[in-house]
Chains A and B, each alone.
Chain A
Amino acid sequence: MSSNAATAVVQAELTKIRTVRSTVVPLLITPVVSIGIGILNGASARSAIDSGNDPLLADFDPVEAGFVGIEMGQLAMISFAVLLVCTEYGSGMIRTSLAAVPHRGLFYLSKIVAAAAVALLVAVPTALLSFFAAQAALGPHGIGLSHPGALRAVLGACLYLTLMCLFALGLAMMLRSTALALSLSFTFVFVLSPVASVIPALRTVARYLPEHAGAQAMKGDPALSPVTALLVVAAWAAAALLAGHLTLRSRDT
């Protein structure tokens, strides 16, 4: 038996997201950072190629160059998910939320649906604009959406950003503290993936870390198939969401 109408709770969660700065600001920063870094990276790659930097030219992937900005933009997306959950706990407003929606599963699922919808809504223009902006900055070295793998990589970027949002949402629900949740999710992106990929023994493992797998989905010539790569990220997101669910069910507020 449920305590509320599901659509009403999703609507309430959407209202929460759009009426507070801690969620609106990271959502606005996501495309700004992604596009901005994409342009800077494209311009610097162009001048490197133009000046005849052969080592760079050897493994230059114009598709991948379209998503360098997303690598940074995802931090804002992660922050959105963490702040969505943790400021509710930190302020104590979670008690008002759970008194209004006593069914924990319904509350959590509605939050997931609302966050995923908003994340996807932001991710689509972010991925498209980052791609086109970076390609424009590359000038004559840039490609279009019709280039092999380009459209697939744009779709991959949209899904990757959304899945990372859900991954962070689950961690946040489990940890309940902004500092802890941000530290842990940034550790995955900034520490675990880069460290594991430079240690030869861990290189295979590194491919299955969320950030690394996601990067594969945004490449022209990936080491993992893009579908596998996104399934890996989805598995991480699902595990984090499950951990969040178990915490919500077992702990008092």
Chain B
Amino acid sequence: MCRGTAARQPAVVIELRQLTKRYRDTVAIDGLTFTVRPGRVTGFLGPNGAGKSTTMRMMLGLERPDEGDVRYHGKAYHELYEPLRHVGALLEAKALQNSRTAYNHLLWLARTNRIGRARVHEVLAMVGLESVSSRRTGGFSLGMGQRLGIAAALLGDPEVLLLDEPVNGLDPEGVRWIRTLLQGLAGEGRTVLVSSHLMSEMAITAEHLVVIGRGRLLADTSTDDFIADNCRPRVLVRTSEPDRLLGVLDHAGLTACQEEPGTVVVDGTGTEQVGRIAAEAGLVLGELATRTASLEDAFLRLTGDAAEYRSEAFTGGNRHVL
């Protein structure tokens, strides 16, 4: 167990190297390389169809990569003895045989890795399913299925947790529960990789972000840096003479562009400086305001080119992404 020895850059636990997966003539995962470190929640982000689930299945040895590999402390998944004790995973919440009870589902799974019944009761309590443990999982809601899946992932008290879209189907209380749980597990020094297509959720859950689109790595950065880089405040100016305004802003060394006719957006400055420059040039302004780009905007801008299914492409919307 590596429990955050060096405070800033602890040892690499999971390493993906040039991971590539092709299906017939499409490349699902394209030379994906990144590492996951312990002691923090790493968000694995990407739009639907970006290849998150395929990557996670390859990380568990369920699909064979065409090239590259995944290592846990240098070992391949199939080299881990009793793997549930090292890596716990949640793939699809409702991938269960419906007529089996929750307890019995965890029991057979525990047996494969020689984990005792006591631990089954323990994880049922951890996810709050003890009272329904003797009910058949066919009657479970998606949220209860997610909780059971998380219980299964925790069964072997693993150092590494891989969770594919764990907040899907959860109510707000459940979402907050998962967030607290994941941060708690990371706080114990575990390595936690959580996939999601929801930027806003990951921004508050994850300390580090790995963003992919169309099977390629788009960003591998801390959440703070991601926000700082992508959500700089910008100034929005409305004027009847946009070309003259662009000229004086450029002269002042500021980056600006005309978003719509008569609307200019200025990067990396505040309203005060822009107002002064406009006043000095004698420009009449219709509006002068700060606009903070949302994280969602930043995410869309980053993955826009890479999104597999994008509504704008079909509706012919006038908002150009990148």
Contact = CB atoms under 8 A, between A and B. Distances in A.
Interface in A1-41: 1, 3-5, 8-9, 11-13, 15-16, 19-22
Interface size class for chain A?
20 to 34
Given A20-B100, A91-B96, A11 B111 contact: yes
A98 interface: yes
A19 B136 CA distance: 10
A51 interface: no
Contacts of B89: 99
B111 A15 contact: yes
A181 to B, nearest CB: 16
Interface in A97-113: 97-103
B160 to A, nearest CB: 12
* Interface of chain A: mostly helix, strand, loop or mixed: helix
A102 B83 contact: yes
A12 B109 contact: yes
B18 to A, nearest CB: 19
Interface in A80-127: 87-88, 91-93, 95-103
Interface residues of B, number: 36
A253 interface: yes
A59 interface: no
B51 to A, nearest CB: 14
Nearest to B59: A99
A253 B57 CA distance: 9
B288 to A, nearest CB: 55
Contacts of B101: 19
B95 A96 contact: yes
A95 B111 contact: no
A54 interface: no
A22 B99 contact: yes
B113 interface: yes
A19 B107 CA distance: 10
A22 B57 contact: no
Given A3-B80, A3-B82, A95 B107 contact: no
A253 B62 contact: yes
B112 A101 contact: yes
A252 B63 contact: yes
Contact of B97 (A1, A11, A93, A252): A93
Given A15-B104, A92-B92, A8 B114 contact: yes
A8 B91 contact: no
Contact of B98 (A13, A91, A253): A91
A98 B62 contact: yes
Interface in B51-65: 57, 60-64
A98 B60 CA distance: 9
A93 B113 contact: no
A95 B64 contact: no
A13 B108 CA distance: 7
B19 interface: no
Given A93-B96, A96-B95, A253 B113 contact: no
A16 B60 CA distance: 22
B77 interface: yes
Q: Which A-B residue pairs are the 3 nearest by beta carbons?
A: A92-B95, A12-B111, A19-B104
12 contacts: A1-B79, A4-B113, A8-B114, A15-B107, A19-B100, A20-B104, A87-B97, A93-B95, A95-B60, A95-B92, A100-B109, A101-B112
